[in-house]
Structures are given as C-alpha cells and as structure tokens.
Amino acid sequence: MSDEKDGKHNEGSQFKAPMNGQSHVKKLIAVVSGKGGVGKSLITALLAVLVNRKGYKTAILDADITGPSIPKAFGLHEKAAGTDNVITPVRTKTGISIMSLNLLLEHETDPVVWRGPLIAGAVKQFWTDVVWGNIDFMFLDMPPGTGDVPLTVFQSLPVTGIVVVTSPQELVGKIVEKAVNMASMMHIPVLGVVENMSYYVCPTCGTKQYIFGESHADVVAESHGIHTLCRLPIRQDLAKAVDGGAVESLQENGLDGLVNTILA
C-alpha cells in the first residue's frame, strides 16, 4: 500500500512546475469558490493580511487572470518590474508581495481576452518566473469554478491546502461541493470553509438577519469532514476598505479559526 501511494505521488510530481531559483515558499494555500461573486478575493486578501500580522512573510499570487482584483484591494497601481526572464512582485504597505496580471498591463482596465491554455500558462509563469524570495505563506486567489486554471494549478504547483469560500444560498452550497470534490480528487486537503455574507447585524437592534437565507455551509463541511468553518457578516466597512485599497487597515476576527488552522 505504501509503495502504491509513493508511486502515485511520484507520478504526480512529474507535472510540477519548477519554482524560480531565487524563491522559496513553505506553504501554498489556494482560495477557491464554486462560483464568482462570493468574496473570494476579499478572503484571500484578509488571510494574507492576518497571517502577515502574525509575523510571517506572506504573498499573494493572483491566479484570477481575467478578473484580477487583488491590486485594487491593496491600493496598488505601480507596475511590476522585470526582464525577459524574471519578474519582481510589488510589495504592499505592510510588506506583502503581490503578483497580478493587472500589475503588468499598460492600463488597469485593459481586458484580457485569452483562451484557457494561455491563461493557465500565465499562472504557471507567475510561479516559475517571479522572484518571490523567501515566503512563509503564499495565497493563491483562484478563478471561480473547476476549469482549466484550477486544474493546472493543482497539477503543476505544490498546493498544500485549500480554503473554500461560499455564500448562504443553497445553490451556491451545491456548487461549492464541486470545488470540495475536486480538491479530494487531487488529494489536496481542504483547510476550511468560509461562508461570506452569512448574515447582517442590524445596527439598531443588534439582531442577525439572514438576508440570503439560512446557512448550509455546516452541512457541506460536516459531510466532507471539514472541521474549520468561519462565517463573516455583511459589513459596509469591508466593502468600503476594499474599494478604497485599504484592506490592510481592516480588523477582522471572524477568520481567526481558519488562520490558526493554516498556521498549525
């Protein structure tokens, strides 16, 4: 049995893309969602900020090539420097290293009209050609769904764990199961589930209002043996900070359980 497992591991390792020789990443965490619009990039940014505050060197590889929003969340507008062979990531105010296609485009609003293989290839290049240096935790902001890019990432990059982001609707819960099942197929552990926009706290009476319906995240998590579940409320200050490029100023303790799991 042990030899069989080792054989599978070795077979899979043949597809791994080599990292830039001037870089070393200890743990690579992919943040995924079954569909768009659930706040995946927000959670990616917050996790990087919170882990960075713990004293670890963190980075974000923005793998959502056609919808890159990480630079906006951090208020980054400068271009990443590079040569024909290597690229240097942009660093945020608190020292988080960022690489996103938006940091390479001439204009931030330029559309990326590429086919799947080209998009997947760009993500691999962000891993092989970017001089990341020594990073303790790198977070991958993945595109939604289970298409070309997630498959390429899970096969080519040494992902050590996955965080799944969802919202309360039942349909989304079912879609999230596809992402969880894909992680299982690729033999990558799911570190936790984050239910974003889980509820709204009335500023007048303090009661919770479930605007998008009752949660189903706990059912999904339990059915797949996922022990860490975080629920974040709808907060105007979150949206305002991200739109204003000030995600590093946010205080958010709703992700403490997941951060502890990542650091364990």
Is 224's pLDDT higher than 70?
A: yes
Amino acid letter at 233? P
Least confident of 61-65, 85-89, 256-260: 85-89
Least confident of 53-57, 59-63, 167-171, 246-250: 167-171
Q: Tokens 């996790």 sit at which residue?
A: 47
Residues 23-63: pLDDT tens digits?
999 999 999 988 888 899 999 999 999 999 999 999 999 99
Least confident of 50-54, 185-189, 203-207: 203-207
Question: What integer pLDDT is reported at residue 15 of this predicted model?
Answer: 58
Cα separation of 241 and 244, whole Å?
Answer: 5
Closest alpha carbon to 29 in 146, 182, 188, 186: 188
Cα separation of 241 and 28, whole Å?
Answer: 26
Question: What integer pLDDT is reported at residue 170 of this predicted model?
Answer: 67
Cα separation of 227 and 231, whole Å?
Answer: 13
Least confident of 126-130, 138-142, 203-207: 203-207
What's the CATH fold of domain 18-263? Rossmann fold (3.40.50)
Q: Write out the two tokens for 187.
A: 């033999």
The beta-strand segments (E) located in the chain are: 24-33, 58-62, 81-82, 87-88, 90-91, 97-99, 134-141, 161-166, 190-195, 200-201, 208-209, 229-231
Which comes out higher in pLDDT, residue 11 or 163?
163
Query: pLDDT-based confidence at 86, cuts 50/70/90?
Result: confident
Question: What integer pLDDT is reported at residue 8 of this predicted model?
Answer: 40
Closest alpha carbon to 249 in 40, 44, 49: 49
Question: What integer pLDDT is reported at residue 14 of this predicted model?
Answer: 47
Q: Write out the two tokens for 61.
A: 């590889």
- Spell out the domain ranges in the chain: 18-263
Which comes out higher in pLDDT, residue 17 or 160?
160
Least confident of 186-200, 206-220, 237-251: 206-220
Query: pLDDT-based confidence at 254, cuts 50/70/90?
Result: very high
Is 236's pLDDT higher than 90?
A: no
pTM: 0.89
Which comes out higher in pLDDT, residue 118 or 42?
42
Is 80's pLDDT higher than 70?
A: yes
Task: Measure the N-to-C terminal CA separation of the chain; round to a whole number of Å.
Answer: 28
Query: pLDDT-based confidence at 112, cuts 50/70/90?
Result: low
Helix (H) or strand (E) holding 259: helix 256-263
